[in-house]
Each structure stands twice: as C-alpha cells, then as structure tokens.
Chains A and B, each alone.
Chain A
Amino acid sequence: DTGVSQDPRHKITKRGQNVTFRCDPISEHNRLYWYRQTLGQGPEFLTYFQNEAQLEKSRLLSDRFSAERPKGSFSTLEIQRTEQGDSAMYLCASSFQRGPSTGELFFGEGSRLTVL
C-alpha cells in the first residue's frame, strides 16, 4: 500500500497523559498536513509542512500540541497533558506541490483519540 499511513489508528488515554501520532506520507510528497475532525464536523486544519519546515500553524494548535517532520519524510503530532476536548480524529494528508500546480491532498485513515 503506497497511500498515507497513520499510526495508531485508535488511542484511548486518560486525561493528563501525553500521546503521539505518526504519519507516513506518500513517498516523494513534499507537503504534509495535519487536520482534526470532531463528530459531525468537517476536518479542521492544524498545521502543514513543506519538506521539513513547518510553514503554518492554526490557532487551534495550542502550546500543548507539537508537530515535527524531522527529515522531510514522516511526521509526528504530539499532544501533551491531554484534555477531554482533545478527543477527535486526527487526520494526516500529503501532497506534491510544485509551483502553482493544484496538488491534490491524499488523506490517511486517521488516528482516533479518546481521552477519558
């Protein structure tokens, strides 16, 4: 399977614990995105990388959230001191962007977080 891969698919944690999600994008895709989706809502943008550089962060990304893409390949999204409001599906997407090309996003299956 050469699609976007996310791990774990499901995570249940207690409030106050830290969690980390991993995303492996499609090979050679230079852009990687993180979105969050709660029940009944459309995905909300969190942040994106161009290669290893984090170029934009949403105001939704509080200081408890940190994302990295150390070598411009896989990415991690860490949530520290989780709160019940962090319960959501965390979606990763990747695209190949060159110049003004439209660069469709390819999404993974998501990582579902439940904070008890």
Chain B
Amino acid sequence: DAKTTQPPSMDCAEGRAANLPCNHSTISGNEYVYWYRQIHSQGPQYIIHGLKNNETNEMASLIITEDRKSSTLILPHATLRDTAVYYCIVRVGGAQKLVFGQGTRLTINP
C-alpha cells in the first residue's frame, strides 16, 4: 500500500470548516483513499473513501486532486466532538488490511 503524509497536528475553531490535507504521491491507479478517525479511547471510525471523484456523505467531503497525488478531507462545520486523530490511508479495493500511519491530531477549539 502507498504511503501517505499528513501534518502531525492542526487546530480549527468550532463552527468553521476543518480542512485536513494528505499527500499520497505514489498512489496506484487501483488504490482508494480512505479516511478514518479515532476519538480518544475509542476504536477508529470510518469516515469516507474515494477513488478519483470527489465524495460527500453526512460526515465529510473528500476532495481528490486530478492527478490523485493528494486529497483533502473537509469537515464543513467542525464541532468539539470532531476533536480526534484523523488517518488518511490508501488501499487497494478489497485488499486485506488497512495500514495506519501517524495521522493528524485535529483539535477543535471553542
């Protein structure tokens, strides 16, 4: 699975959009971009995934650049409950496992 690069930490004000970047310059054509988050003392939670088109669900939006070498997870109206570590992972569809990196620790400030 390709490696990803994320900033170790970010801050965002409550009510504002949180934009979390991820670089995956060595991504292959059949690899998806996944985002998971982990709130303190809980297991990771799936957020969203995409292949090449932008995706949106009730939790977030995923913007993938045209060359697919980077992506951005957008939490449109961040709340205090969005404080968590966010993991960007690239994975072949149907692959056996997720390989987690260090993630980005996002802190939402009141």
How many residues of chain B are within 8 Å of chain A by beta carbon? 22
Q: Which stretch (B16-24, B41-49, B69-77) binds chain A?
A: B41-49
Residue of A33, A42, A44, A108 ringed by the most chain B CB atoms within 10 A: A42
- Would you give the shortest CB distance from A107 to chain B, in whole angstroms? 3
Given the interface pairs A97-B94, A99-B94, A100-B94, the reply to whether A45 lies near B99 with Cβ below 8 Å is yes
- Would you give the shortest CB distance from B82 to chain A, in whole angstroms? 18
- Would you give the shortest CB distance from A109 to chain B, in whole angstroms? 5
Residues of chain A within 8 A of B44, CB atoms compared = 43, 91, 93, 105, 107
Establish whether residues B43 and A110, one from each chain, have CB atoms under 8 Å apart when the complex forms: yes
Establish whether residues B98 and A45, one from each chain, have CB atoms under 8 Å apart when the complex forms: yes
Q: Please give me the residue from chain B that is nearest to A45 by CB atom.
A: B97
Given the interface pairs A42-B87, A93-B43, A110-B43, the reply to whether A102 lies near B32 with Cβ below 8 Å is yes
Residues of chain A within 8 A of B94, CB atoms compared = 97, 99-103
Establish whether residues A107 and B43, one from each chain, have CB atoms under 8 Å apart when the complex forms: yes
Residues of chain A within 8 A of B103, CB atoms compared = 42
**CB neighbors of A among B78-104 (8 A):** 85, 87, 91, 93-94, 96-103
Establish whether residues B43 and A108, one from each chain, have CB atoms under 8 Å apart when the complex forms: yes
- Is A2 located at the chain interface by the 8 A CB criterion? no
Establish whether residues B100 and A42, one from each chain, have CB atoms under 8 Å apart when the complex forms: yes
A43 in complex: contacting residue of B34, B49, B93, B100, CB < 8 Å: B100
Question: Which B residues are closer than 8 A to A by beta carbons?
Answer: 32, 34, 36, 42-46, 49, 85, 87, 91, 93-94, 96-103
Q: Can you list 28 contacts pairing A with B, beta carbon distance less than 8 Å? A: A4-B43, A33-B97, A35-B100, A41-B102, A42-B87, A42-B101, A42-B103, A43-B44, A43-B100, A44-B100, A48-B97, A55-B96, A91-B43, A93-B43, A97-B94, A101-B94, A102-B49, A102-B93, A104-B34, A104-B49, A105-B46, A106-B46, A107-B43, A107-B45, A108-B43, A109-B42, A109-B43, A110-B43
